[in-house]
Amino acid sequence: MLKIHAGFMLAGLFSMVTGVTIAMSARKKKWWLSIHKKLGSAGSSCVILGFMAALYMVSRGTGEHFAVPHTYLGIVTILAVLFTYTMGIMQFKVRRKVVNIRLIHRWSGRVTLSIMLLNLLSGSFLIGML
Ligand code: HEM
Ligand code: HEM
């Protein structure tokens, strides 16, 4: 279950980093937004599956959920992914506030990917890989 948890989180980060790289470097191409959305959706789905795997893993093990710093940072990271995803969608739904929502999405996306990378490192420390 640990491999599934870590694997989904790694795949999620990889998918979102690729999506953001496309948003930053291929903005002149017609397809950038469609690929950015698809990679953002795939990445967010991986993070949710990775979270379900973590819950199952801990409930089959110690049963003590959210007991170590990796797990609190984990919850913050998962909420940040969902927030960024929601802001990505909302900028097309609430047109009056598009400028603000777009700015929030850009910044929350950058912060999300940074804390996600930190959390991958903290998980790797936790199991003694680093
Ligand atoms: C959780 C997944 C996602 C992440 C981490 C993410 C992250 C980002 C980041 C960091 C940028 C700024 C890129 C730059 O500096 O040029 C960006 C731009 C953008 N994203 Fe996302 N995004 C995600 C999902 C989505 C979704 C689902 C949509 C739409 C439905 C979307 C729509 C956009 C748009 C329209 C821009 C351009 C904003 C602008 O022109 O300032 N994103 N995204
Ligand atoms: C951004 C990526 C990651 C996120 C968001 C994340 C999130 C979480 C969360 C929320 C939990 C708590 C589950 C619970 O207490 O019920 C957890 C547990 C755990 N994660 Fe991660 N994780 C990530 C990456 C990793 C990686 C890469 C590893 C190992 C290589 C790892 C190893 C573990 C371990 C061993 C536990 C169980 C801790 C315990 O027994 O209390 N995680 N993770």
pTM of the model: 0.93
Please give the structure tokens belonging to residue 22: 């496309």
Identity at 22, one-letter amino acid code: I
* Residue spans per domain, the chain: 2-126
pLDDT tens over the chain, length 130 residues = 999 999 999 999 999 999 999 999 999 999 999 999 999 999 999 999 999 999 999 999 999 999 999 999 999 999 999 999 999 999 999 999 999 999 999 999 999 999 999 999 999 999 988 7
pLDDT at 125: 94
Q: Say what the pLDDT of residue 16 is.
A: 98
Residue count of the chain:
130
* Binding-site residues, ligand 2, Cβ < 6 A: 2, 5-6, 9, 51, 54-55, 57-58, 61-62, 65-68, 70-71, 74-75, 77-78, 116, 119-120, 123-124, 126-127, 129
Tokens 């795949």: give the residue. 11
CATH no. of 2-126: 1.20.120.1770
